[in-house]
Structure 1
């Protein structure tokens, strides 16, 4: 079976395989590439809890990781539920956490999942295909203002008003039901220039996917809730693929590295905030040219790592 290529695998896991024993959490298990690397390169007393909300990904990962069945456990759910999932598995402390954000190559390459504008498929985009609103639901049930906000804020798309206007025109004639319908509509509104680096529909598809899966809010929850479970010197590694994700991670790490957030004019600290993290990557780690040549989808990835401290 051909598996999704994990991005920045060696770079991320270099920080996570120092644990001598205990649990490491792969909160975006996918096809299990990061987990396999951890298990192959860490102490035999290190175990991994793999979390994913996609039942198809969990099935593939279980098949791939069968040789390590005594060292790996699985939890189906969103990484925003990390606290609940850890408690359900009787885990109170972890030695590491990895989050590989965004959509996987496998999900993009299956037309029926509706993530890609390269294939004709339903406007779905759910990471968990068994529950929640689809992209079609959002397009049909959001107000013009809500849809504009989604495309502007989650896609960082400058032409959000024009795109929504054309979506409404199309919907007044026939329902928008397929990915190619939407992609072709956007391409007609914003024909790609010769110098464009991305497809005209890229940002809108990203925005809808983020909205469907509540990705940014779940990321904030996962980062915040993980602090309770990270043991002393445990590390959290996050791989992001666009500026919205990276900004959340960077700001969270920066805020948790500070031990006081009182205004400078106050002579004595009254906030009682304590430092919880030490940032290990002052600048994000980027993929090598060799990795980009091997896997072009890695080009936009960034890795940030921090270490848990108790003061």
Structure 2
């Protein structure tokens, strides 16, 4: 019998909302964006803090998240069944704050039918949006060894990527394509003989395939670029990351746009002004990690749009 999905516990719930609403007064106005509605932990707290003239636009690719959002009966709230890179479609300088809570929710991980976890046997899917796109099983059915190697190495930082890719193709040719999470986890366990203490051998491979099939890093880069266009001067961007690949992109983006840029070809020209000011970096406290072990790898970075266009 499959275990029931665990209730999703929102990571850095209070800290994220406080960071977004800092210096906005008791009843903030304007338009805010929750780029990953999930199960609505951040959105509901934001709505509780916003004033009557506040507005919250949420995005999510997961149909189950969209169904959860439909339960919110609040004229100030709207949800879009799209990835958060679509915030680029919002009017320029129209948003007072943006929150991106990256990663996978507990209901996604703990529902075997979604195929995100090696802990349960289920179809090898891993799509955030089950209404469109190619599943992991579909992609692995045709991908070449080098393609699979690149994905597992680049998105999972897995040093046995080539051996895993060869084994996947060999098994496909001998027995047919992989169809389930248990089949993939078993194959990886046979190939990966050493692993960090306490980590399943399939951890990095599953992470890599999930990131790839959902184009997570590309969408993050697009959304960060869009944030510069849609944030108002003084508006804040808060991003919660759960692994080094995501956090590196966010950290470098904020650092790049938090300094003046000089054109070395034109030393006398005025520098391009900085567009962001890095505000803070927050990790979950010991009490939150103890209550929700999945929070232990989280880090939130916050930046503020400068007044200079």
Whole-Å separation in 2 of the counterparts to 1:36 and 1:289: 24
Report whether the alignment pairs 1:26 with 2:30: no
Cα distance change on mapping 1:141 and 1:261 into 2, 3 Å: farther
Whole-Å separation in 1 of the counterparts to 2:303 and 2:209: 30
Matches within 5 A, 1:122-201: 122-174=123-175, 175-191=177-193, 196-201=197-202
Residue in structure 2 matched with residue 48 of structure 1 by the alignment: 56
Report whether the alignment pairs 1:273 with 2:272: yes
SS in 2 for 1:205: helix
Whether the aligned pair in 1 keeps the contact of 2:93 and 2:233 (CA below 8 Å) is: no
Q: Quick one: which of 46, 69, 79 aligns to 1:74?
A: 79
Query: What per-residue deviation string (whole Å, max 9, x for no partner) do you get for residues 38-57 of structure 1?
Result: 11233333221111111111
Q: Which runs of 5+ in 2 are unaligned?
A: none
Shift of 1:83: 1.4
Whole-Å separation in 2 of the counterparts to 1:29 and 1:192: 37
Whether the aligned pair in 2 keeps the contact of 1:192 and 1:199 (CA below 8 Å) is: no
Whether the aligned pair in 1 keeps the contact of 2:6 and 2:107 (CA below 8 Å) is: no
Matches within 5 A, 1:88-127: 93-127=94-128
SS in 1 for 2:179: coil
Residue in structure 1 matched with residue 69 of structure 2 by the alignment: 61
SS in 1 for 2:302: strand
Whole-Å separation in 1 of the counterparts to 2:104 and 2:304: 26
Whole-Å separation in 1 of the counterparts to 2:202 and 2:241: 20
Whole-Å separation in 2 of the counterparts to 1:139 and 1:2: 29
Q: Quick one: which of 42, 45, 48 aligns to 1:37?
A: 45
Whole-Å separation in 2 of the counterparts to 1:185 and 1:102: 25
Task: Report the number of matched residues.
Answer: 299
TM-score, normalised to structure 1, is 0.91
Shift of 1:92: 5.7
Whether the aligned pair in 1 keeps the contact of 2:236 and 2:302 (CA below 8 Å) is: yes
RMSD between aligned residues: 1.9
SS in 2 for 1:199: coil
Residue in structure 1 matched with residue 306 of structure 2 by the alignment: 309
Whole-Å separation in 2 of the counterparts to 1:102 and 1:71: 26
Cα distance change on mapping 1:107 and 1:249 into 2, 3 Å: same
Q: Which runs of 5+ in 1 are unaligned?
A: none
Shift of 1:266: 5.8
SS in 2 for 1:95: strand
Residue in structure 2 matched with residue 219 of structure 1 by the alignment: 220
TM-score, normalised to structure 2, is 0.91
Query: What per-residue deviation string (whole Å, max 9, x for no partner) do you get for residues 200-236 of structure 1?
Result: 1011001000110100010000010121110111000
Cα distance change on mapping 1:2 and 1:150 into 2, 3 Å: closer
Q: Quick one: which of 280, 289, 294 aligns to 1:292?
A: 289
Shift of 1:10: 1.3
SS in 1 for 2:171: helix
Whole-Å separation in 2 of the counterparts to 1:267 and 1:98: 37
Shift of 1:192: 5.5
Whether the aligned pair in 2 keeps the contact of 1:3 and 1:31 (CA below 8 Å) is: no
Whole-Å separation in 1 of the counterparts to 2:69 and 2:292: 20
Cα distance change on mapping 1:138 and 1:301 into 2, 3 Å: same
